[in-house]
Amino acid sequence: MRMPALFVGHGSPMNAIEENEFHLGWRNIAARCPKPKAVLCVSAHWETLGVSVTAAERPEAIHDFYGFPKALFDVQYPAPGDPELAARAAGLLPASMDAARGLDHGTWSVLCAMYPDADVPVVQVSLDTQRPGPWHYALARELAGLREEGVLLLGSGNIVHNLRMLDWGRPEGFEWAERFNDEVKRRILACEHQELAAWHMLGAESRAAIPTPEHYLPLLYTLAWRQPGEALEFFNDRTVMGSICMTSLLLGGS
């Protein structure tokens, strides 16, 4: 059975511990999907020169943020690693293996809602953000076959992510952020993947939506994992705090 693939807008780390609509959305998606043999995640929060893959047998949860409540720093996610899957992914890409790296919050904040028992092995792949969008899209295609081996492929970032323009008290998105999100969704539905990989060409609003590429690039990985004619579904489709888009994407769900 081919496993589904996901792009999740992970947003604030607080989504890991708050029983809000986004946390519940991740939980509900996991309940609808077959339980995977392992998860391979491309997260916005691991940037490297070249590409690396986590190879630790017991990767630690990395609390790569500040200014949040102690309850969030207390969260652990003791999922096992999968050195065998790491070696397979490293060979497919190719990439180096990192036996010391743990799981950043772009990964564990989502997975603690999806698989709260932490009983599914997890491997992360880093982002070489010096590379252009089409390079990432082509690289991701090398991993697509892992879906046929029981691996859930997960991209974790945000379509719109601009912390400089954030308005903590605003429950909805700015108009420009909503327009950009709608434009990206339209192009996803039209299978305009190459246009989405060249996000700089998507108009002036792309510069505000994607001031730096690390949160947008995981979307390109998920798009590259889509098979021809495969079912596609948006969920958690909301923009919050002005400039954070939580829109997420399920491929191949039931």
Cα distances from 48 to residues 18, 37, 190, 210, in angstroms, run: 30, 27, 32, 19
pLDDT tens for the chain, 254 residues long, are 899 999 999 999 999 999 999 999 999 999 999 999 999 999 999 999 999 999 999 999 999 999 999 999 999 999 999 999 999 999 999 999 999 999 999 999 999 999 999 999 999 999 999 999 999 999 999 999 999 999 999 999 999 999 999 999 999 999 999 999 999 999 999 999 999 999 999 988 999 999 999 999 999 999 999 999 999 999 999 999 999 999 999 999 76
Question: What is residue 254's predicted lDDT score, i.e. its pLDDT?
Answer: 66
DSSP 110-168: HHHHH-TT--S-EEEEEE-TTS-HHHHHHHHHTTGGGGGGTEEEEEEE-SSB-GGG--T
Helix axis angle for 217-224 and 133-141, nearest 10°, is 40
Domain 5-251 coded CATH 3.40.830.10: yes
Question: What is residue 240's predicted lDDT score, i.e. its pLDDT?
Answer: 98
> Phi/psi at 24 (nearest 5 deg)?
-65, -35
Question: What is residue 1's predicted lDDT score, i.e. its pLDDT?
Answer: 83
Report the predicted TM-score, pTM, of the whole model to 2 decimal places: 0.97
Q: How far apart are CA 65 and CA 184, in angstroms?
A: 28
| Domain boundaries along the sequence of the chain | 5-251
Question: What is residue 203's predicted lDDT score, i.e. its pLDDT?
Answer: 87
Chain centroid to Cα 8, Å, comes to: 5
Question: What is residue 11's predicted lDDT score, i.e. its pLDDT?
Answer: 97
Q: How far apart are CA 122 and CA 101, in angstroms?
A: 12
Question: What is residue 204's predicted lDDT score, i.e. its pLDDT?
Answer: 87
Contact 58, 13 (CB under 8 A): no
